Chains A and B, each alone.
Chain A
Amino acid sequence: MKLRSDRLIPLYLLLAAAVLLFAALYQNTRSAEPPQVYNVSVLVQASGDRFAKGLEQAALDLNVDLRSVTSYTTYKRTEQLEYLRRELENQADAVVIYAEDSAAVTSFLNSQQSPVIVTYGRPLETLTSIHPHIGADDMELGRRLGEQIIHNEASFCLILLPLITDRTHSRRLEGLKAVLEENQLPFSVQIQETPARYQSYTESGQMAVAALDEALLVPMCEAAPQDALLFGIGFVDEARTSLANGRITGLVVFSEFEAGYLSLKAAVEMVKTGTAIDQQLEIYDVTVADMYQEPLVHVLFPIG
Chain B
Amino acid sequence: MIKYFVNKIYHFYHESSIRAIVFLTFTIAALVALLMMGMTLFWQFSRQLSSNLSNENQSIVEYANRSLNSYLSNMIHLADSVSYGAVRNIDITSPDAGRQLELLYDANSNLIHNITLFSPACQVLATAPAGKPQADLSVADETWFTDALASTENLHFSPPVVEQFFAGTGEPYTWVIPLSCAAEYTEGKTSKTGVVLINLRYSGLADLFNDITLSDGGYIFLADSDGKIIYHPRHQLLAAGLAEEPGTMLAGQSGRHSEGRREIIIRSAGYTGWSVIAVIPLSRLTFDIQQNLLFLLAIMLMYFALLIWVNAFLSEKLTDPVKKLEQSVLDVESGHYPLEIYEGGSHEIQHLGHSIRQMTKLIQKQADDIAEERIHEQKSKLNILQAQINPHFLYNTLDIIVWFIEKQRYPEALQAVSALGRFFRLSLSQGKDMIVVRDELEHVRNYLTIQKMRYKNKFEFYIDAAEETLDKLCVKLVLQPLVENAIYHSIDFMTDNDGEIVISSRLDGDCLCLTVKDNGLGIAPERVPKLLSENATFSKGSGVGLKNVHERITLYFGKEYGVVIHSEPDVGTLVTIRMPVIPGPEKEEPR
Measured between alpha carbons, how far is A298 from B175 in the docked complex, in Å? Answer: 10
- A245 and B175 contact, CB distance less than 8 A: no
- A237 and B302 contact, CB distance less than 8 A: no
Q: Which residues of A contact B299 (CB under 8 A)?
A: 17
Proximity string of chain A (237-273) to chain B, C-beta cutoff 8 Å, 1 when within and 0 when not: 1001100111000000001011001100000000000
- B23 and A298 contact, CB distance less than 8 A: no
For residue A9, CB closer than 8 A to chain B, the reply is yes
Q: Which residues of B contact A23 (CB under 8 A)?
A: 294
For residue B304, CB closer than 8 A to chain A, the reply is yes
Closest chain-A Cβ to B46's Cβ sits at a distance in Å of: 18
For residue B524, CB closer than 8 A to chain A, the reply is no
Partner of B23, one of A6, A237, A299, A301: A6
Proximity string of chain B (155-169) to chain A, C-beta cutoff 8 Å, 1 when within and 0 when not: 000001110100100
For residue A227, CB closer than 8 A to chain B, the reply is no
- B301 and A304 contact, CB distance less than 8 A: no
B-binding segment of A99-107, A215-223, A289-297 = A289-297
Partner of A6, one of B161, B240, B295, B312: B312
- B162 and A292 contact, CB distance less than 8 A: yes
Measured between alpha carbons, how far is A246 from B137 in the docked complex, in Å? Answer: 12
Proximity string of chain B (303-338) to chain A, C-beta cutoff 8 Å, 1 when within and 0 when not: 011101101100000000000000000000000000
Closest chain-A Cβ to B159's Cβ sits at a distance in Å of: 10
Interface size on A (CB < 8 Å)? 45
For residue B408, CB closer than 8 A to chain A, the reply is no
For residue A2, CB closer than 8 A to chain B, the reply is no
For residue A144, CB closer than 8 A to chain B, the reply is no
Q: Which residues of A contact B306 (CB under 8 A)?
A: 10
- A257 and B173 contact, CB distance less than 8 A: no
Proximity string of chain B (287-301) to chain A, C-beta cutoff 8 Å, 1 when within and 0 when not: 000011011011101
- B161 and A292 contact, CB distance less than 8 A: yes
Closest to B172 in A: A237
- A10 and B305 contact, CB distance less than 8 A: yes
For residue B135, CB closer than 8 A to chain A, the reply is yes
Measured between alpha carbons, how far is A17 from B305 in the docked complex, in Å? Answer: 9
Measured between alpha carbons, how far is A49 from B160 in the docked complex, in Å? Answer: 19
Q: Which residues of A contact B202 (CB under 8 A)?
A: 303
Closest chain-B Cβ to A47's Cβ sits at a distance in Å of: 10
A-binding segment of B7-15, B90-98, B231-239, B417-425 = B231-239
Measured between alpha carbons, how far is A258 from B173 in the docked complex, in Å? Answer: 18
Partner of B235, one of A10, A20, A237, A303: A303
Q: Which residues of A contact B40 (CB under 8 A)?
A: none
| Interface of A (DSSP majority class) | helix
Proximity string of chain A (21-59) to chain B, C-beta cutoff 8 Å, 1 when within and 0 when not: 101100110010000000000000000110001100100
- B292 and A24 contact, CB distance less than 8 A: yes
- A24 and B294 contact, CB distance less than 8 A: yes
Q: Which residues of A contact B162 (CB under 8 A)?
A: 292, 297, 301
Closest to B161 in A: A292
For residue A191, CB closer than 8 A to chain B, the reply is no
- B136 and A246 contact, CB distance less than 8 A: yes
Residues 21-50 (chain B) with a chain A CB within 8 angstroms: 23
For residue A7, CB closer than 8 A to chain B, the reply is yes
- A57 and B173 contact, CB distance less than 8 A: no
Measured between alpha carbons, how far is A81 from B319 in the docked complex, in Å? Answer: 87
Interface size on B (CB < 8 Å)? 36
- B172 and A17 contact, CB distance less than 8 A: no
For residue B242, CB closer than 8 A to chain A, the reply is yes
Closest to B238 in A: A298
Interface-centre pick from B136, B291, B302 (highest chain A CB count, 10 A): B302
For residue B258, CB closer than 8 A to chain A, the reply is no
- B237 and A57 contact, CB distance less than 8 A: yes
Closest to A7 in B: B312
Measured between alpha carbons, how far is A80 from B172 in the docked complex, in Å? Answer: 27
Q: Which residues of A contact B167 (CB under 8 A)?
A: 241
- A258 and B240 contact, CB distance less than 8 A: yes
For residue B134, CB closer than 8 A to chain A, the reply is yes
- B301 and A302 contact, CB distance less than 8 A: no
Q: Which residues of A contact B240 (CB under 8 A)?
A: 255, 257-258, 261, 298-299
Partner of B236, one of A7, A18, A244, A257: A257
Closest chain-A Cβ to B220's Cβ sits at a distance in Å of: 16
For residue A163, CB closer than 8 A to chain B, the reply is no
Interface-centre pick from A27, A246, A295 (highest chain B CB count, 10 A): A27
Closest chain-A Cβ to B460's Cβ sits at a distance in Å of: 92
Partner of A301, one of B173, B301, B311: B173
Q: Which residues of B contact A189 (CB under 8 A)?
A: none
Closest to B301 in A: A17
- A10 and B291 contact, CB distance less than 8 A: no
Q: Which residues of A contact B239 (CB under 8 A)?
A: 294-295, 298, 302-303
Measured between alpha carbons, how far is A14 from B312 in the docked complex, in Å? Answer: 16
Q: Which residues of A contact B301 (CB under 8 A)?
A: 13-14, 16-17, 20
Measured between alpha carbons, how far is A108 from B78 in the docked complex, in Å? Answer: 60
Closest to A20 in B: B298
Q: Which residues of B contact A241 (CB under 8 A)?
A: 134, 167
- B294 and A27 contact, CB distance less than 8 A: yes
- A13 and B291 contact, CB distance less than 8 A: no
Closest chain-B Cβ to A61's Cβ sits at a distance in Å of: 8
Closest chain-B Cβ to A34's Cβ sits at a distance in Å of: 13
Partner of A14, one of B172, B295, B297, B302: B302
Partner of B291, one of A31, A48, A297, A300: A31
Closest chain-B Cβ to A254's Cβ sits at a distance in Å of: 11
Q: Which residues of B contact A54 (CB under 8 A)?
A: 236
Measured between alpha carbons, how far is A258 from B237 in the docked complex, in Å? Answer: 8
Measured between alpha carbons, how far is A294 from B175 in the docked complex, in Å? Answer: 13
Q: Which residues of B contact A21 (CB under 8 A)?
A: 294-295, 298
Closest chain-B Cβ to A103's Cβ sits at a distance in Å of: 33
Closest to B290 in A: A27
- B304 and A13 contact, CB distance less than 8 A: yes
Partner of A244, one of B23, B164, B175, B302: B164
Q: Which residues of A contact B292 (CB under 8 A)?
A: 24
Measured between alpha carbons, how far is A54 from B240 in the docked complex, in Å? Answer: 10
Closest chain-A Cβ to B106's Cβ sits at a distance in Å of: 26
Q: Which residues of A contact B297 (CB under 8 A)?
A: 17, 20
Residues 222-259 (chain B) with a chain A CB within 8 angstroms: 234-237, 239-240, 242
- A24 and B295 contact, CB distance less than 8 A: yes
Closest chain-A Cβ to B173's Cβ sits at a distance in Å of: 5
Closest to A14 in B: B305
Residues on A lying within 8 angstroms of B by beta carbon are 4, 6-7, 9-11, 13-14, 16-18, 20-21, 23-24, 27-28, 31, 48-49, 53-54, 57, 237, 240-241, 244-246, 255, 257-258, 261-262, 292, 294-295, 297-304
Give 8 nearest A-B pairs by CB, closest first.
A298-B239, A20-B298, A17-B301, A24-B294, A13-B305, A24-B295, A10-B305, A237-B172
> A24-B294, A300-B173 are known contacts; what are 14 more A-B pairs with Cβ within 8 Å?
A4-B312, A9-B305, A13-B305, A17-B298, A17-B299, A17-B302, A21-B294, A23-B294, A57-B237, A241-B134, A292-B162, A297-B162, A298-B239, A301-B175
Residues on B lying within 8 angstroms of A by beta carbon are 23, 134-136, 160-162, 164, 167, 172-173, 175, 202, 234-237, 239-240, 242, 291-292, 294-295, 297-299, 301-302, 304-306, 308-309, 311-312
Interchain Cβ contacts under 8 Å between A and B, 14 examples: A6-B23, A6-B312, A9-B305, A9-B308, A13-B305, A13-B308, A31-B291, A240-B173, A244-B134, A245-B134, A245-B135, A245-B136, A301-B173, A303-B239
